[in-house]
Amino acid sequence: MFNSRWNLSAQKRYFANMKSNLKSLPPFAEMVRAMLERDPSYEGVFFTAVRTTGIFCRPTCTARKPLPSNVEFYATTTEALAAGFRPCHRCKPLQLIESAPPWIESLLQEIDATPDRRWTDADFVQLGIEPVRARRWFKQEYGMTFHTYLRSRRLGHALGQLTAGASIDDAAQDGGYESVSGFRDAFKRTFAETPKASRTMKPLVFSRISTPLGPMLAMAEDRGLVLLEFTDRPALPREIDELRERYGYLITPGKHRYLLQAEEELQQYFEGRLTAFQVPLFTPGAAFEVEVWRELRNLAFGTRTSYGVLAARLNRPSAARAIGMANGRNRLAIIIPCHRVCAASGHLTGYGGGLRRKQWLLDHEQRAMRLKAHIVERSHEEVGA
């Protein structure tokens, strides 16, 4: 579709780049389409370098899109930098791994220290933060306004108190509400449940985690990590509804030790330093699904298998299709590694985060394994010398 806008030299440069890349790139036309449509499923898969401006961007950059004839694609930021391009100031391709920009860390710490505080523009200014910038960040990262985030945090804390046996009066007072009736109204608007009914329900705390492949949504409770998904996964709204309606969770933004552990381990995974996750998991589901997910966790880092092999391991040789469906209902991307399951032919098959992400994860694990083997080999040589 885009052939008429390519010139021969651009195509030659593209294929030359492909040969030198440490990981494979999608077809040129596919990347052009993803760039023009700002497709979030290609985050981390490639970077767009614009020859007329000398900068390189993420696929989802909101800046004006260049002509396809003026771009080159690189698999990593290192290659784009080595080719002489500068990182875009708008989409900040070098900061994908950060969970929050440095300027907002002080704000998050203040929120944790004083959850019932009523924030004004003067409070932002005192911390050296532009109020509009802070509000825009919360809208982008959490899909809600700053004040909605604060209210949800306060009510989430109150929910934890109620489930631990605190009285409604105490929960309302600790949450900074002047009246119990106001607390009841706010609680029901947020959770669609009364404070009394919530005593038998379980809080599920969520936060967003930035990764080289795009933002992920993580949810945890005291038994373990419950959900980890790319935020653009089509099935994510259905999964959240199921956690609410079928399993009785009340979902609120906040911090949790398992969310922090998952974020740290994901960073180590993407850096190639971690091959097995240790964060505790809690996976509510049908008995067969839980059985499949448990077997998926036994798939070694850097390996691949097929649905048929999984069926044989579970002593269910005719259940390959059912196993595929259980894979699709896995709520813990990467950590329960359903990306390591392919067709018997070796071809990639469906993946909730998108096939390009699946290919990236498989390539990443292979690179990490080769690097580890190389280091071991060098160490043996040095010992022998």
Q: Which of 57, 88, 91, 338 is catalytic?
A: 338
d(CA 256, CA 245): 22
Query: Starting at the edge strand that comes first in sequence, how are the strands of the sheet with 216-221 ordered?
Result: 224-230, 216-221, 202-209, 249-253
Q: Are 284 and 272 in contact (CB under 8 A)?
A: no
Strands (DSSP E) along 45-135, which ranges?
47-50, 55-57, 71-74, 86-87
Q: Is 70 helix (H, G, I), strand (E, B) or coil?
A: helix
Three-class HEC string of 286-346: CHHHHHHHHHHCCCCCCCCEEHHHHHHHCCCCCCHHHHHHHHHCCCECCCCCHHHEECCCC
Q: What are phi and psi of 306, to 5 degrees?
A: -120, 165
Q: What angle do CA 69, 74, 80 make, to 5 degrees?
A: 100
Strands (DSSP E) along 222-259, which ranges?
224-230, 249-253
Q: Are 219 and 243 in contact (CB under 8 A)?
A: yes
The residues near 99 (Cβ < 8 Å, ≥ 6 apart) are: 207, 208, 209, 210, 263
d(CA 306, CA 343): 5
Query: Distance between the two ends of the chain, CA-based, in angstroms?
Result: 58
d(CA 13, CA 9): 6
How many Cα atoms occupy the beta-carbon half-sphere of 290 within 13 Å? 8
d(CA 340, CA 330): 13
d(CA 254, CA 42): 28
Residue type, 121: D
Which helix (DSSP H) or strand (DSSP E) does residue 23 occupy?
Answer: none
d(CA 144, CA 152): 10
Asked about 338 being catalytic, the answer comes back as yes
Q: Could you give the residue numbers annotated as active site?
A: 338
